[in-house]
A and B are shown apart, each in its own frame.
Chain A
Amino acid sequence: MKDDDAPHNPGSGLTRRRFLLTGATALAGLTLSPKLLASEGDLEPAGDFGELDATAPGGIDLYIERKTLRIDGLPGRAITINGSVPGPTIRMTEGEEAVIRVHNRMREATSIHWHGILLPFDMDGVPGISFAGIAPGETFTYRFRLRQNGTYWYHSHSGLQEQMGHYGQLIVEPRDEDPVDYDVEHTLVLSDWTFEDPTTVYKKLKSFEGYYNFQRPTLANLRQQADATDQGLGEAIGSRLQWNRMRMDSTDIADVTGATYSYLLNGRTARENPTFIAGPGERVRLRLTNASAMTYFDVRIPGLAMTVVQADGQNVEPVEVDELRIAVAETYDVIVTLPDARAYTIFAETMDRSGYARGTLAPQQGMSAPIPERRTRPLLTMADMGMMHGDMESMEGMEGMDHGGDHSAHGGDEASDSKDKIRYPPHDEHNVSSVAHRHALPVTDLPMSVPHGPDDHGAGSITMAENAYRQLDDPGVGLGDDGRRVLTYSQLRILETPPDRRPPTREINLHLTGNMHNYIWGFNGKKWSESEMLRFKYGERLRINFINDTMMNHPMHLHGMWMDLYAGHDYGKNPRKHTVNVQPAELLTVDISVDAPGQWAFHCHLLYHMKAGMFRTVAVVRDLKGEPIYADR
């Protein structure tokens, strides 16, 4: 029987379902050799994807169809794009017009959303908001001019299709010279795959709290719990009781885990070891995309430093790190250089440590390097509940990291000043003009934390955090205390200041809320179907203060417009992002140039959180007066 208490057990990547399937196959007198399976079912493996140029004359055609592919050595029913998972890497050139004909060869409607791309709203690909969707058998032609460059990705915005392989990477070549200098480049698409029907996964999450969490605190692992938090046994029991009193689980780090997921890099599992070729001394550009439905990855290449040069498609001042956490839907470009002709492991461990994806960077095929030992699953602490404000243990062990010389980015120690007392009232969708400001808002030295105040978000929200605080220097739970240099948001500085860096004149406070017990997710306690559209005024600079009331990370994605992330330094240097990760009990601020008229999606990019209601429609309108607009007719 599988020992779930031992996260280091190499066999624990084998899920029960696969165990059963393996048994069944063995009974039938077969082995699981890929060669045999391939000849048996004549199954193509996932991961064989091509490359297309969408701005080339004539454009490109994408065919969406259901197909059985060999995934992790087993037949998996996937949604493929031109026959592959991931779909083809789509290249485009800045300034040119992309023409993409998407043919739906399935029995259900589909769509493609071009994640991070600025385009007319009707090309954004969100059924119900941007267009009607692509009906079975129909073709939809996407047509838009590229106004940016960088690494992005694309995926379905219909139902839970994204979980079934409906995604791929998208690269926009710069029109002018690329400030990033490299010799070789590789596409690295991280994702999570389940052999379960995604609707079943969702049903399980709705029906049983922590269905997929097999790393819970138990009597048997009490010692591990104590070790994970540097406590004695007595203290560990004490904090267990404290968590129980709050009706919370300190291991609630990922909703869906390695208990059902196979983690893929370019469609291949760790065993299949996708290999990327680069010679010694070459500058290798790795274009990393997290195309997962639910999984955060911590990426490192043991023995190699990674220089982050791009975040969410935007060039940033190079930062050298040993590890980076990539939230769902983010992209990072890193430069690495092989010092010798040896192989190096690209190791992408999941945030909850329940599994990993892996590849190899080597001068030739067939080489491999050791796979590092997986770390133990971290425990959330009271700090993640905003209860140890000003006492972040995660600040320790980060010596040697570049703090940017700007102390305003620090996460708590000097937060006891008067700004501390500022309350951010929840955004009132019915009274938008009441939060309008006549004057420009400050762009430096924003409050370090806000007390939560009374919880009036209703039954859809379990609010535990007394304070939400800035955590720009905190790489996240389970990172930053082992001497590795881990990327933090405070280190991201945009390379070239974008034209519009006016101070915002209006702010919206958006509480990220959820009820893990009933798996209800939303903003300010409301699901999408209970809410009206958020209105942005065309032409304004708008500030959104995200206040995470939950214990989970949420990757927030705004369609159509950039979010300038307040990273604590020079306002002109704040990075532009399409997806920002908001940590538990975090206060995170973004400023937006509202320059995209139309209606847009704005949501948590954890697929099942979005499905459960953590979604808003944004209407970019002429002015903020008028009746509320409901998206759910």
Chain B
Amino acid sequence: MPTVKHYARALGLALSLLLLTDSPAWSQEGHEHHEMEEERDDAPEPEESPESPAEEAEEDPDDVESYQGEEPALPEGMTLDEVLESAEQPPPEDFPDAMHDDAIRAFLLFDQLEYRYDLGDAPDQIGTEISGYVGGDYNRLWLKGEGETSWQGPVGLEGESEIDVLYGRLISPFWTVQIGAQYTNTWAENAYEDIWSGALALQGLAPGMFEVDASLYLTENLNLLADLEAEYDLRITQRLVLQPRAELNFAAQDIPERGIGIGLSQALVDLRLRYEFLREVAPYIGLRYQGLIGATADFAEASGEGASRFFILGGVRFALY
């Protein structure tokens, strides 16, 4: 009959076996810290799976004999086995995250908020362009908008705006692909028109440090439109920046009711000189050339408008975040 003593002995042997298996070969000599130390010599050699190349390397006599392992620093009350066991687990539930590298952030840039003084007979404008996002590093909800309004023309207050709401994903270090919807509207004294479109865009930094935003729109009337914007920051001093900017609009078909003709329909070429008091607050002055092209110009002239306009402009660029 096995006695309590037998059980204790068996348990001791089992424990020492465990300890042995869990101690690397190099830590077996010259130690007084393990309580089971004396029993170790009686224990049989642990079995190791020969398939593991790492473990075979561990048995390489060149490795083992040249090193006398130092006593590992163990937490109070924990055996080596328990520490190694816990190292295999994710951190305990009551631990906070070690890092917060995926926080959600929001950013809104008023790239343009400006008064445009028309050098011809056409009315002056107040214009704006914004872009911003909410999200993490890779996935974001984007908002882009631009609009302008005037009040000196024959119909009084009139204007138009475009707002894009897009889901964007960073697909490479410099490029974000965006998909979503655009809402455009025009308003005048007795008229309000709007249209929805599906939008697909590629936005990023092209080689040469050009900020590029290329968008495709399919309207609810199944018209296909495209926008291409590019800008460049030329630093004159650390805070004085000259920014040339170009925007080209294209259409795949004539849309007479919106005054848009097939092909390249409009070109905007801007030049802004800004002074960055802060990175996020920079007043500027600038010039704009706006040219309607081809069939679009014809539509404009037919309705008594000029095809090209020049503006002097001034405003402030600022960011909220």
- Is B83 a contact of A624 with CB atoms below 8 Å? no
Query: B98 near A502 (CB under 8 angstroms)?
Result: no
Asked if B73 contacts A118 (CB within 8 A), the reply is yes
Chain A residues closer than 8 Å to B137, beta-carbon distance:
460, 518, 520, 527
CB distance from B49 to the nearest CB of A (A): 9
B86:A598 contact, CB within 8 angstroms = yes
Q: Is B237 part of the contact surface with A, judged by Cβ < 8 Å?
A: yes
Within B274-295, which residues are at the interface with A (CB < 8 Å)?
278-280
B170 neighbours in A (Cβ, 8 Å)? 459, 518
Task: Let me know if B91 and A633 touch, CB within 8 A.
Answer: yes
> What residue of chain A has the Cβ atom nearest to residue B88's Cβ?
A621
Contact with A along B220-262 (1 / 0, CB 8 A): 0000000000000011111100000000000000000000000
Q: Are B235 and A128 in contact (CB under 8 A)?
A: no
B100 pairs with A611, CB closer than 8 A: yes
Q: Say yes or no: B54 contacts A506, CB within 8 Å.
A: yes
User: Is residue A359 contacting chain B, with contact meaning CB distance below 8 A?
Assistant: no
A392 to chain B, nearest CB (A): 26
B45 an interface residue at 8 Å Cβ cutoff?
A: no
Rounded to whole Å, the gap between the CB of A474 and the closest CB of chain B is: 27
Shortest CB distance A205–B (Å): 11
Q: Are A613 and B101 in contact (CB under 8 A)?
A: yes
Answer yes or no: A277 CB below 8 A from chain B CBs.
no
- Chain A, interface size: which category? 35 or more
The chain A residue sitting closest to B204, CB to CB, is A517
Q: How close is B143's CB to chain A, nearest CB, in angstroms?
A: 15
Contact of A208 among B69, B94, B208, B280 (CB under 8 A): B280
Is B39 an interface position by the 8 A CB rule?
no
Bound-state Cα–Cα, A448 to B271, Å: 49
Cβ A4 vs Cβ B239 within 8 A: yes
Which of B52, B92, B99, B207 has a CB less than 8 Å from the CB of A529?
B99
Interface size on B, residues (CB 8 A): 72
Q: Given A217-B235, A459-B172, A537-B54, are A615 and B207 also a contact pair (CB < 8 Å)?
A: no
CB of B192 closer than 8 Å to a CB of A: no
Interface 0/1 of A94-128, CB less than 8 Å to B? 00000000000000010000000011111100111
Residues of B within 8 A of A611 (CB): 99-101
B105 and A502 within 8 A (CB): no
Contact check, A143 vs B76: say whether CB atoms are below 8 A apart: yes
Shortest Cβ distance from A443 into chain B, in angstroms? 12
Q: Once bound together, how far apart are the Cα atoms of A622 and B88, in whole Å?
A: 8
Contact A631–B234 (Cβ < 8 Å): no
State whether B98 touches A631 (Cβ < 8 A). Answer: yes
**Is B97 within 8 A of A128, CB to CB?**
yes
- B15 / chain A contacts, CB cutoff of 8 Å: none
Q: How distant is the Cα of A143 from the Cα of B75 in the complex, in angstroms?
A: 9
Question: Is B26 a contact of A539 with CB atoms below 8 Å?
Answer: yes
Distance in angstroms from A251 CB to nearest chain B CB is: 10
Stretch at the interface among B1-9, B58-66, B158-166: B58-66
Closest 6 CB pairs of A and B: A539-B24, A128-B98, A613-B101, A4-B238, A505-B57, A597-B83
